[in-house]
Amino acid sequence: MRKIIHIDCDCFFAAIEMRDDPRLRGRPLAVGGDPGKRGVVATCNYEARAYGVRSAMASAYAKKLCPELLIVPGRMAEYRAVSQNILAIFADYTELIQPLSLDEAYLDVTNSQHCRGSATLIAQEIRQRVRDTQGITVSAGVAPNKFLAKIASDWNKPDGLFVILPDQVDEFVRALPVDRLHGVGKVTAERLKRLGIDTCGDVRTWRQDDLLRRFGVFGQRLWQLAHGQDERPVVVERQRQSVSVEHTYDQDLPDLAACLAELPSLLERLAKRLAPLQGQYRISKPFVKVKFHDFTQTTMELQGTPVTPEGYAELCAQAFARGLRPVRLLGVGVRLDSAHDPLHEQLALF
């Protein structure tokens, strides 16, 4: 019996924008293209969704639904950086991670010894760590398979956790509406409804052969899902590009000296995050991220900089010199190369 967690960030792009500019909170917000230039909504917050605004909707139509909607351009570099930080948190609990996009992933924690082996406690701890370190919320679903874990993560959104225990699967799936199943779109749902099939319990009254004749190969998949069956493993498909840690300070760091004083604790956290990867990657270069009090930010990295406290101090000084303003967030990390080359020995210097 597997223990699968599905993590889904809540309105990911919009959440980062609201995190970085608190003035955006509480008002309808979308990240996307210019309405006057046939732009499209990439994502939106829950205030905008209340008006019917959705991802992939034309920005111009979104403005018609919600005239007060503020549409801001995306910052993909920042979204990718946050996504990498969240993936690094996942890696503290399991190596079996399957990212689906920047904002969601499956984790197989069946053999994880963290949190006394409890998938529920692991999910709770991950959610808290993402909130504390990245300043956004994620929703999580815990279940014996990927199909149910993904449904569960959407059950108590936003900022929710829903757990389906093995002995609850049959009852939960029996009452599940068929339009919640992956692959059942609007057309298929209407077709099922005409056959008197509204829930997975209704599907169970049909023989698998009959569903095959009606729906082809999907009929077999429909029968399996209606019985809570999903044997797909969590497949590790992507290699890490970087590992980093960062911290947003309650009070801005006033000068370079204050920033340098924070480096040891950040480097200690980075070393702990790198330890499980020993022997799997080669470090190409270190980097430092600085976000100033006015929300402008910069990342400093130079090939050849030693992966040492002194190297990070030099990068921090150069990054700070780009703004010369109080700092609200400081981060350190490393870029990674081949998955088949060993890590450099500099890690021991941490």
Show which residues are catalytic: 104
List beta partners, residue 4.
108, 143
Whether 202 has a binding-site annotation, put simply, is no
Q: Look up residue 95 and give its DSSP letter.
A: S
Does an H or E element contain 136, and which? none
Please tell me the distance from the alpha carbon of residue 168 to that of residue 339, in angstroms, as a whole number.
40
Determine the Cα–Cα distance for residues 341 and 51; give it in Å rounded to an integer.
Answer: 51
Residue 133's nearest CA partner among 274, 253, 266 is 266
Preceding amide of 158 cis, omega within 30:
yes
Q: How far is CA 127 from the centre of its chain?
A: 10
Reduce the DSSP state of residue 350 to 3 states and report it. coil
Residues whose CB falls within 8 Å of the CB of residue 317, separated by 6 or more in sequence, listed in order: 256, 260
Is 103 assigned to a binding site? yes
Radius of gyration from C-alpha coordinates of the chain: 23
Strand ordering across the sheet containing 41-44: 41-44, 29-32, 70-72
Annotated binding site: 8, 103
Annotated binding site for Mg(2+): 8, 103
